Amino acid sequence: MTTESMSAGGDPRRLLSDVRGLTHRVRLDQRLTWLALLVLGLVTLVGIPFDWFGMRVNCASDGSCEFARRGVLFYWPPALLLAYAGITVSYIRAARARGLGARVLPYAITGAALTVLFTAAWVAAALYFPDHPVRFPSWVLVVDRLIAPWGVIGVALLVLARVERNVALLLFTLGYLAVALTLPTNEGWGTSWGIRADFAIPQVICGIVLLLGATGFAVASRRHR
Amino acid sequence: MTAEAPEPQMSSGHPVTGLDEVVHQRVRLGILAIAHEARRVEFGYLRSQLDLTAGNLSKHLSVLEMASLIDVEKGYEGRRGRTWVTLTAAGSTALAEEIKRLKLLITQIESTDTPED
């Protein structure tokens, strides 16, 4: 053992503490959580007019209405894929500028895979259910909300929290998912403002939650630097 | 550390004897820890985080490269020269073993730390 290695740093507790401190510093420097949440929040809010104007509504004389959310199917798959691509490129560029590698790829792959899953599920539902009406148990509706765009955003964020070992993001995502799964994002709010507004309100709430998260993480990130 | 490593061999029964001199040096351990977490780290980042001069850091990197614990890749970004450091599989294993030994050492120290009469 060299004299150098027996200096103050030779104390095993101190060495382990140094290692933990350095790895924590690297993790903080690799993160760009606020940007991911900002992009997803904006994508959510921009999606509202697409849903609003892309929705086909046919109301019968007895007051019952049938609707088809074509806008969701046309807007969300490309929007989410572009968002994940943009987030990935930004993460890699920011980490590289700081002199580090990035850990964002598992998040981007999960996000893209979930987008494909959501698209397939919604296309299948749009083709099958109009001719085969089914009354689902409540747990199916929870799964339905999980694979809706507002749900898959949250599920993918859980993966980002894992790869970043980011406890704050994990807690935020659990809160966001609680909101997204509780709000009737793909069933309508049930107000008297019309069916389009019924669907828009939960999306506004999800978008605002994501933007508030982005603001919080941006402030925290600025304090760390 | 997430890297799995084989169980350290404690021939004499004390973890100190199993410590690798190349890895068990504060700066070199720091380089390995940062490279493990970052996957790829640039020379300037290491220098600022470990608070070293360029010459001193280069010496430590050479020791680690000679021991095949890191790969050093030199290149350019525009006109600016950049040196990137990546942990090898052997480096990852050595780091995991070192962490294991340090934890073992701390456990032994704590278990033999009896209050004086």
For every residue of A142-182, which 3-state class applies, written as one string? HHHHHCCHHHHHHHHHHHHHHHHCCHHHHHHHHHHHHHHHH
* Check: complex ipTM more than 0.90: no
- State yes or no: pLDDT of A210 exceeds 50: yes
Give the nearest partner residue to B40 out of A7, A23, A101, using CB atoms: A101
**If you measure CA to CA, which chain A residue comes closest to B29?**
A19
Q: What angle do CA A155, B39, A29 make, to 5 degrees?
A: 70
**Which two three-digit tokens encode residue B8?**
């350290």
pLDDT in tens, A5-47: 334 445 888 889 999 999 999 999 999 999 999 999 999 999 9
The answer to whether A56 contacts chain B (CB < 8 Å) is: no
Residue A134 DSSP label:
-
B7 vs A187, more confident = A187
The answer to whether A21 contacts chain B (CB < 8 Å) is: no
Element (H or E) spanning B41, and its range?
Answer: strand B41-42
- State yes or no: pLDDT of B29 exceeds 90: yes
**Is A100 in contact with A30 (CB distance < 8 Å)?**
yes
pLDDT at B33: 95
Chain A to chain B Cβ contacts (< 8 Å): 76
Q: What angle do CA A107, A22, A26 make, to 5 degrees?
A: 30
pLDDT in tens, A138-147: 777 778 888 8
Sign, CA dihedral A187-A190-A195-A197, equals negative
**Which two three-digit tokens encode residue B87?**
């942990």
**Is A16 in contact with B102 (CB distance < 8 Å)?**
yes
pLDDT in tens, A118-175: 999 888 888 887 777 667 677 777 788 888 999 999 999 999 999 999 999 999 999 9
pLDDT in tens, A54-103: 888 777 777 677 777 888 899 999 999 999 999 999 999 999 999 999 98
pLDDT in tens, B46-96: 999 999 999 999 999 999 999 999 999 998 877 888 899 999 999 999 999
Mean pLDDT over each residue of chain B, to the nearest integer: 83
User: What does pTM read for this prediction?
Assistant: 0.81
**Which two three-digit tokens encode residue B99?**
């962490």
The reply to whether residue B33 touches residue A19, judged by beta carbons under 8 angstroms, is yes
pLDDT at A13: 87
Per-residue confidence at B3, pLDDT binned at 50, 70, 90? very low
Quote the percentage of chain A above a pLDDT of 90: 57
Cα–Cα distance, A50 to A28 (Å, whole number): 36
**Backbone φ, ψ for residue A66 (5° rounding):** -110, 140
Chain A contact set for B63 (CB, 8 A): none
Mean pLDDT over each residue of chain A, to the nearest integer: 86
The end-to-end CA distance of chain B, in Å, is: 39
Alpha helix (H) residue ranges in chain A: 12-30, 33-54, 70-98, 105-128, 138-146, 149-164, 167-182, 195-224
